[in-house]
């Protein structure tokens, strides 16, 4: 059995994650499972802890992030260069898009049960996205990245003092609504130059561009309905040339993945994407602020092993082929 490590963000999910961990801990002890647990103490700590765990010895290890997608993003970046590490996740945040996209139960106790079962066999390899910034620094993402309006909101929310205050009353999500409405009336759209696998595109009055490895984003919005983390492709969504009021309607339709039918929403698939503009737009990776454009985003197929109920795509294709009687 691989060594088992947990990296816990006790502040995730408005501080609810600490209580979630206490329950998980009881379960692990009752089942006499040996593990090591580390709590994050500040933003960026999960990445450091995960990197230290990964570098400790050459043993195969499971590193399970307990928190929200931000914690998972940090753990991913800490382990990505260590092929002997398998990534796991127990949802304890307020968004938890990773668990939606990678078929992990939303309930933490059920997620632990699934993790413990999946640990007994080899985990499937999943794709990840890699962002290379202008200064050549690199960041990985597993859900999605975005540039423009949505990244600005993510930045403002995460740097807002009001958020910490509202979190105390479990009202953290109100901060999103506040900044969304504020920026909806103030945000200046811009022209974006996009290159997808060498093909150039220009979009005027662009609100945002997202690049997805799995469908979900922003706490359950189906921004890229066709995205699959095993297809070796990234799904690109561009929202441009639409009024402030219509943007609000498009936002609502994203929860059902119906925004793709608006003519102002363009969808593409590709392996390597560059995003440029005359304006220094904010960029997020898995909802965390990572810098500004210009940048290159590319798919790293089969980048890491992930504890997920999704099976290998090839395996599913083979099963389907066999059940169709084709040999
Ligand atoms: N101990 C800590 N104290 C404060 N912030 C932390 C701590 N550990 C991690 N963080 C930061 O908390 C942020 C949010 O984490 P995460 O996304 O896991 O939780 P969340 O509940 O989904 O958050 P959000 O409310 O932003 O959706 C991340 O930017 C992470 O770097």
Q: Where are the chain's structural domains?
A: 3-123+307-314, 130-302
**Residue whose CB lies within 8 A of the most ligand 1 atoms, among 44, 67, 69, for a mutation test:** 67
CA 81 – CA 258 distance, rounded (Å): 37
Give pLDDT tens digits for 273-304.
Answer: 999 999 999 999 999 999 999 999 999 999 99
Atom of ligand 1 nearest to the CA of 158: 26
CA 86 – CA 123 distance, rounded (Å): 7
Predicted confidence at residue 313, as pLDDT, reads 54
Q: Domain 130-302 is in which class?
A: mainly beta
For residue 114, the tally of other CB atoms under 10 A from its CB is 19
Q: CA Rg, the chain, in Å?
A: 20
* Lowest mean pLDDT across 1-5, 130-134, 193-197: 1-5
Residue nearest to atom 30 of ligand 1 (CA): 43
Per-residue pLDDT band at 311 (split at 50, 70, 90) = confident
Per-residue pLDDT band at 171 (split at 50, 70, 90) = low
| Predicted confidence (pLDDT) at residue 326 exceeds the cutoff of 50 | no
93 C-beta closer than 6 A to ligand 1: yes
User: Are 186 and 128 within 8 A, CB to CB?
Assistant: no
Predicted confidence at residue 327, as pLDDT, reads 35
CATH code for the structural domain at 3-123+307-314: 3.40.50.10330
| Predicted confidence (pLDDT) at residue 244 exceeds the cutoff of 70 | yes
Predicted confidence at residue 310, as pLDDT, reads 87
Please give the mean pLDDT across all residues of the chain: 91
Q: Do domains 3-123+307-314 and 130-302 have the same CATH topology?
A: no
77 C-beta closer than 6 A to ligand 1: no
For residue 137, the tally of other CB atoms under 10 A from its CB is 11
Query: How far apart are the CA of 6 and the centre of ligand 1, in A?
Result: 15
Per-residue pLDDT band at 169 (split at 50, 70, 90) = low
**Residue whose CB lies within 8 A of the most ligand 1 atoms, among 11, 141, 217, for a mutation test:** 11
| Predicted confidence (pLDDT) at residue 181 exceeds the cutoff of 50 | yes
Predicted confidence at residue 174, as pLDDT, reads 75
CA 239 – CA 206 distance, rounded (Å): 6
Query: How far apart are the CA of 11 and the centre of ligand 1, in A?
Result: 6
pTM higher than 0.90, yes or no?
A: yes
DSSP states of 108-159 as a string?
HHHHHHHHHHHTTSPPPEEEEEEEEETTS-EEEESSEEEEEHHHHHHHHHHT
């Amino acid at each position: 059995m691989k060594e088992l490590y947990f990296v816990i963000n006790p502040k995730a999910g408005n501080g609810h994650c600490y209580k979630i961990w206490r329950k998980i801990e009881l379960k692990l002890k009752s089942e006499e499972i040996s593990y090591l647990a580390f709590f994050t103490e500040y933003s960026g700590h999960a990445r450091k802890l995960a990197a230290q765990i990964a570098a400790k010895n050459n043993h195969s290890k499971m590193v399970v992030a307990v928190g929200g997608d931000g914690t998972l993003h940090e753990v991913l970046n800490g382990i990505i260069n260590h092929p002997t590490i398998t990534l796991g996740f127990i949802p304890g945040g307020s968004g938890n898009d990773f668990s939606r996209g990678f078929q992990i139960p939303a309930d933490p106790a059920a997620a632990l049960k699934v993790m413990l079962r999946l640990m007994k066999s080899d985990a499937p390899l999943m794709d990840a996205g890699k962002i290379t910034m202008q200064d050549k620094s690199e960041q990985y993402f597993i859900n999605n990245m975005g540039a423009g309006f949505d990244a600005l909101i993510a930045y403002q929310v995460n740097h807002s003092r009001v958020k910490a205050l509202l979190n105390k009353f479990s009202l953290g999500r109100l901060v999103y609504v506040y900044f969304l409405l504020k920026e909806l009336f103030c945000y200046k759209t811009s022209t974006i130059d996009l290159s997808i696998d060498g093909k150039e595109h220009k979009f005027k009055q662009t609100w945002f561009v997202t690049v997805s490895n799995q469908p979900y984003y922003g706490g359950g919005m189906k921004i890229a309905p066709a995205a699959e983390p095993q297809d070796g492709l990234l799904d690109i969504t561009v929202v441009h040339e639409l009024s402030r009021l219509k943007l609000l309607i498009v936002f609502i339709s994203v929860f059902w993945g119906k925004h793709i039918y608006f003519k102002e929403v363009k969808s593409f698939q590709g392996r390597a994407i560059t995003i440029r503009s005359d304006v220094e737009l904010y960029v997020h990776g898995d909802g965390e602020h990572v810098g500004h454009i210009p940048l290159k985003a590319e798919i790293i197929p089969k980048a890491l092993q992930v504890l997920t109920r999704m099976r290998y795509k090839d395996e599913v294709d083979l099963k389907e082929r066999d059940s169709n009687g084709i040999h």
